Amino acid sequence: MGSDMTIGRWILDRERVTPDRVAIDFMGDHTTYADLARGARGLAAELKQQGIAPGDRIAVLSANRPEYAVVLFACALGGFVMTPLNWRLTAAELAYQLNDAEVALCIVEESRMAQAKAALELAGVDPPARPMEQASGGDGEFTVDVADDDPLLLIYTSGTTGNPKGAVLTHANCFWTNLAIDRVMDVTTFDVVLQVLPQFHIGGWNVQPLLALWKGAKVILEPSFDPERALALIAEKRVTTMMGVPATYLFMAESDRFEETDLSSLRMAVVGGAPMPEDLIRVWRNRGVALVQGYGLTEASPNVLGLPPERASDKVGYAGKAYPHVEVALEALDGAGLIEGPGVGELLVRGPSVFAGYWRDPKATEQAMAGGW
């Protein structure tokens, strides 16, 4: 089962304790925890037989699908590193990431196979491409010693300072960031979590969905975001919590169905990715929904700051305090040192959820981790 913090333990535990509970509801099709564990275990064994070794990178190009979760847990069990690819990128941009990661296998949704082949034609690597729809393996057994500090995810940043850099997130990073957010914006075993964020983004895993699967909750997984459908799902599926970016909640609030939709089940909605306009927070508050803000970044897995739900009304516009197990500080922009009390500066973060470093880029890693922060 791996060490104490390895993510593969989560799905094996769920298979033993709540095998028949629905883990993922995808367009009305149900995947149980037993289905998810069986598929992940079988895929990990199959990939090992095909020569994929622990530490090898497996790229995924797909819209949101239950099979994406199968691949993640297969990587967790087999010691592989999942590299989610943003399907909005051009072939050349995808080729750069495929080359940089030196991927050993691509798992691709059938409808995006042409996009993947175009990227591979430009890339210097030539991994086999496997259809995402065939991601679940058969029954198989294997033994792999996976450690807490082994890499699980290689997620590329937006590349604001040049070419995108690959952030390496370990099993322990994912363990601690999920534990941290759970201690402020908890997900319970009875929750119904709506996931509309893409699975190629860190928020599509470590801001509720992966935590929900740890807890044995149900994830309502959508292939993409549609505001009117999201509202309908909240009422129909009795969604209790969700996460989105400000645009998610803006488009939902602008829908003609917003005022008439039954939102009574939605106890908490998390927002991140950008500051939330205060007027929009009040629009949702007037519908009885607590919109709680947070701040994070991929390099912190991503959860850094979070606003407790009970402060959503009197701290409108705030990103909250540092999560448990996360430390933050403010450094003066002139390099004069840490600022005590209110001020303007650069936010520093440290803790067990902070990434292992940038993929094969020790210089960038050293610059990012200067001073132990």
Residue 158 has pLDDT above 90, yes or no: no
Q: For residue 263, what pLDDT band results from cuts at 50, 70 and 90?
A: very high
Contacts 24+ apart (CB under 8 A), 357-366: 357/168, 358/165, 358/166, 358/167, 358/168, 359/100, 359/101, 359/154, 359/165, 359/166, 359/167, 359/168, 360/100, 360/166, 361/165, 361/166, 364/165
pLDDT digits (tens, 9 = 90+) for 44-95: 999 999 999 999 999 999 999 999 999 999 999 999 999 999 999 999 999 9
pLDDT digits (tens, 9 = 90+) for 171-204: 999 999 999 999 999 999 999 999 999 999 999 9
Among residues 283, 306, 279, the alpha carbon closest in space to that of 295 is found at 306
Residue 296 has pLDDT above 60, yes or no: yes
Pairing label, strands 321-322, 303-306: antiparallel
Measure CA 220 to chain center.
15
- The packing angle between helices 113-122 and 91-101, to 10°, is 70
The values of phi and psi at residue 98, to 5°, are -60, -40
Alpha helices in 26-157 (DSSP H): 33-49, 66-78, 91-101, 113-122
pTM of the complete model? 0.96
At 300, list the tokens.
């912190």
The type of residue at 357 is G
Distance from C-alpha of 92 to C-alpha of 96, rounded to nearest angstrom: 6
Give Cα separations from 162 to 87, 103, 364 (angstroms).
Answer: 20, 21, 12
